[in-house]
């Protein structure tokens, strides 16, 4: 039922007395409408069906709004401003050491120690002994292909003359498809594009327009002196996790405004369509690996898959990959807090007590918070979390 306050869904209990009253008008006041009679049962089924129809109408009404829609309808609602980020395979270059005459064919495979595979995109034949740069692409879609320098080190099918492989640079542009909740969050952030604040506009532009970006934050020094962190006067520093250098630089330049220096540890130079050269600086966020030991006192209602649920809750809180999905977690420059992690695990039915211990090296675990400095992002995954019994 549509009211001035919005849609108010009517349930079976709301429809039942209405239909019963109509039945009494038709069959008489003394008609037996109890649930023991065929008529009473039929009236109940009618009320139940109307309630289900009303629930569908509520879904139709809610599908008009960003916050209450999902799937394809949500994509249509946000389309005037942004589109959903789709799956993207990570790409980059590896350096292969070859003897003279050795060949790398298109499709030859290399992998990391944790079994993320990459295929060669170009044919190379060594004209002399030495190192050769070869573009590669991840076999799987998503952020799983975003590897750190040196991660790709194994030749899947070793051949004579192919001596070694390594990636000297990190890969940033692999991207998971956005979930509905992530798309809604980015939509609301993107509204900053149309505001007067330059900082929010740059953040929104980098997040929306650069494929592979998982997080971005802009710090502004609008004074006439260098600030405490070394940022020049009248400058902005954009800290980014993911994405390609050129795409990030162009997105920053598009929104930063004239007379403002784009400062950062990485500087990318590009020429615009008028032939003018621009130097745009930004800073790459670094990831801090968080290892977790979670001790759980399990009650009678603890589910069979409780350990998996606990791991999932911890990954969602800290940030990282679980079951192929990437979660943003606490975000950039935000500490990982023990009590907050424990609260996530306590939300699981059957958990009577819990203790969480963290480590950043996988060796020394303590029940202390993990301090995440600037510009860092906490990250964990299933392999870094161990569940044990609390005694």
d(CA 102, CA 90): 26
pLDDT of res. 189: 67
pLDDT of res. 276: 83
CA distances from residue 75 to 62, 167, 280, 297, 326 in whole angstroms, order as listed: 14, 37, 32, 43, 20
Task: Report residue 333's pLDDT band, with 50, 70 and 90 as the boundaries.
Answer: confident
Any domain includes 85: no
Any domain includes 230: yes
Question: In terms of domains, do 296 and 336 share one?
Answer: yes
Question: In terms of domains, do 346 and 382 share one?
Answer: yes
CATH of the domain at 150: 2.40.30
Any domain includes 70: no
- Residue pair 1/10 in contact (Cβ under 8 Å)? The answer is yes
pLDDT of res. 305: 92
Write the pLDDT tens digit of every residue in 352-383: 999 999 999 999 999 999 999 888 889 999 99
d(CA 110, CA 213): 25
- Would the pTM count as exceeding 0.85? no
* Cα radius of gyration rounded to whole Å, the chain: 28
pLDDT of res. 191: 67
Last residue of a domain, one of 255, 284, 313: 284
Any domain includes 146: yes
Structure tokens at 376: 């860092």
Any domain includes 180: no
Question: In terms of domains, do 277 and 311 share one?
Answer: no
d(CA 247, CA 256): 14
Any domain includes 74: no
Last residue of a domain, one of 284, 304, 326: 284
Question: In terms of domains, do 262 and 304 share one?
Answer: no
Question: In terms of domains, do 368 and 355 share one?
Answer: yes
Task: Report residue 237's pLDDT band, with 50, 70 and 90 as the boundaries.
Answer: very high
Question: In terms of domains, do 220 and 280 share one?
Answer: yes
Range of the domain at 361: 287-389
Q: Supply φ then ψ for residue 27, to 5 degrees.
A: -105, -5
Last residue of a domain, one of 226, 260, 284: 284
Question: In terms of domains, do 291 and 362 share one?
Answer: yes
CA distances from residue 314 to 79, 373, 376 in whole angstroms, order as listed: 33, 20, 18
d(CA 85, CA 210): 10
Question: In terms of domains, do 356 and 299 share one?
Answer: yes
pLDDT of res. 153: 93
269 vs 214, residue with greater confidence: 269
Question: In terms of domains, do 328 and 384 share one?
Answer: yes
Share of the chain above pLDDT 90, in %: 48
Element (DSSP H or E) covering residue 291: strand 291-298
Position 196 pLDDT exceeds 50: no
Range 70-97 average pLDDT: 88
Any domain includes 273: yes
Question: In terms of domains, do 258 and 343 share one?
Answer: no
Question: In terms of domains, do 254 and 218 share one?
Answer: yes
Structural domain count, the chain:
4
Closest C-alpha among 184, 178, 89, 189 to residue 141: 89
Any domain includes 19: yes
Question: In terms of domains, do 231 and 317 share one?
Answer: no
């Amino acid at each position: 039922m549509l009211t001035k306050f919005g849609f108010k869904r009517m349930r079976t209990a709301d429809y039942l007395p209405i239909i019963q009253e109509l039945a009494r008008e038709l069959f008489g006041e003394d008609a037996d409408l109890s649930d023991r009679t065929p008529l009473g049962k039929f009236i109940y089924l009618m009320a139940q069906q109307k309630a289900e129809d009303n629930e569908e109408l509520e879904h139709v009404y809610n599908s008009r709004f960003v916050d209450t829609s999902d799937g394809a309808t949500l994509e249509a609602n946000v389309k005037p401003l942004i589109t959903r980020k789709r799956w993207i395979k990570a790409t980059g270059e590896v350096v292969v050491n070859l003897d003279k005459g050795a060949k790398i064919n298109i499709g030859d495979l290399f992998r990391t120690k944790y079994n993320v595979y990459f295929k060669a995109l170009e044919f190379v034949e060594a004209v002399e002994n030495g190192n050769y740069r070869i573009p590669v692409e991840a076999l799987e879609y998503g952020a799983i292909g975003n590897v750190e320098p040196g991660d790709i080190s194994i030749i899947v099918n070793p051949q004579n003359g192919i001596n070694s492989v390594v990636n000297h640079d990190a890969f940033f542009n692999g991207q998971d498809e956005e979930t509905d909740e992530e798309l809604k969050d980015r939509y609301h952030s993107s509204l900053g594009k149309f505001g007067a604040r330059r900082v929010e506009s740059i953040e929104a532009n980098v997040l929306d327009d650069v494929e592979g970006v998982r997080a971005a934050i802009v710090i502004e020094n609008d004074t006439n002196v260098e600030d405490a962190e070394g940022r020049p006067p009248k400058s902005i520093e954009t800290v980014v996790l993911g994405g390609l250098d050129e795409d990030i630089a162009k997105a920053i330049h598009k929104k930063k405004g004239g007379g403002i220096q784009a400062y950062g540890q990485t500087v990318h130079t590009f020429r615009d369509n008028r032939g003018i050269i621009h130097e745009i600086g930004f800073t790459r966020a670094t990831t801090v690996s968080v290892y977790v030991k979670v001790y759980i006192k399990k009650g009678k209602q603890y589910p069979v898959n409780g350990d998996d649920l606990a791991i999932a809750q911890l990954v969602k809180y800290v940030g990282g990959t679980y079951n192929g999905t990437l979660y943003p977690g606490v975000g950039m420059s935000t500490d990982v807090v023990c009590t907050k992690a424990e609260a996530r695990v306590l939300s699981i039915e059957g958990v009577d007590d819990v203790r969480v211990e963290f480590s950043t090296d996988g060796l020394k675990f303590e029940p202390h918070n993990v301090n995440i400095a600037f510009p860092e992002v906490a990250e964990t995954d299933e392999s870094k979390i161990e569940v044990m019994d609390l005694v």
